[in-house]
Amino acid sequence: MEIEYRQPKQFLTKASGFLAYYTHTLNPYMGCQFGCQYCYVRKSPISLFSGKNWGEWVTIKQDVTHQFEKELRRAKQKGNVTIFMSSSTDPYQPLEKKHEITRHLLEVMAQAPPDFLFIQTRSPLIQRDIDILSRYPGKFIVSMTIETDREEIIRHFTPHAPSIKSRLLTLAKLKAANIPVQVAIAPVLPCTDDFAHILKPYTHQVTVDDYFMGDGSQGRRTKALGIDSIYKAIDEMSWYHPEAYQNVANMMKKTFGDGNVAISIEGFKPKN
């Protein structure tokens, strides 16, 4: 793992594309230790210009000049501020335990909350910040990625990601602290018919997404990653299909109710 440190000129980036419903994205890191095989950032300029393999480098955005506080204040003076954290990294990847960049950004936002904050992660490390999140004065949601209930499938697609069990236990702790949560089944991976029942005790809100709806290019970016070779190798090609998500979405709707299951972008928009 190659690690660099940088004081960025800005933390907030104007949101665009899939996330255009937000005013800004916020990435505490460049690069991501989880290095998921299907990560669309692999083919983005961030990854390509690095000249390194995705998952093997991270730039830590240090805020020694208190840049974020100034930026957030200026953005709020201009109007509505809605933030998606994070679009091209996991804000709670393992390095966060030591460096506490995300924790710092949260502390700043807790002092001057944006109009909405969406926190997307797959990491149990978010539990560390329950103290901030449980008294956070603004509107927000924690969205926990759980793509399947089959641990062996996770290991093929995201070998460095935390276990499903640890993510479920994290949800239980967040829920117990009255922190708003959802599960993002994104992207849908081959799962069992029990998946909805397994999730039920941990959340009442689920979002279902796949490469074809959610990678910003109708699945072309994911195809370019050669992700189909993993499906072939594990003999699960029927799941690599634009309609495969529908069975999962229907299963979730039966258990959670239609109104509590969002499809693709609907589940990632700012909430009222």
- Site residues (CB under 6 A) for ligand SF4? 32, 34-36, 39, 41, 88-90, 122
Nearest distance in Å: CB 198, ligand SF4: 21
Nearest residue (CB) to ligand SF4, 36 versus 196: 36
Nearest residue (CB) to ligand SF4, 43 versus 150: 43
Q: How far apart are the first and last CA of the chain?
A: 40
Distance of CA 67 to the CA centre of its chain: 24
Nearest distance in Å: CB 18, ligand SF4: 13
Nearest distance in Å: CB 89, ligand SF4: 5
Describe the strand order of the beta sheet including 57-61 as a list of residue ranges. Answer: 2-6, 57-61, 29-30
Nearest residue (CB) to ligand SF4, 184 versus 248: 184
Nearest residue (CB) to ligand SF4, 53 versus 192: 53
Nearest distance in Å: CB 209, ligand SF4: 12
Nearest distance in Å: CB 120, ligand SF4: 8
Alpha helices in 94-210 (DSSP H): 95-99, 101-111, 130-133, 151-157, 164-176, 195-199
Cα separation, 157 vs 153, in Å, equals 7
Nearest residue (CB) to ligand SF4, 186 versus 262: 186
Nearest residue (CB) to ligand SF4, 93 versus 205: 93
Q: Is the peptide bond before 45 cis (omega within 30 degrees of 0)?
A: no
Nearest distance in Å: CB 239, ligand SF4: 18
Nearest residue (CB) to ligand SF4, 74 versus 220: 220
Nearest distance in Å: CB 150, ligand SF4: 18
- Residue pair 36/53 in contact by the 8 Å Cβ criterion: no
Rg (CA), the chain: 18
Query: Hey, what's the torsion of the CAs at 148, 246, 232, 47, to 10 degrees?
Result: -70
DSSP for 76-96? HHHS--EEEE-SSS-TTSTHH
Residue type, 86: S
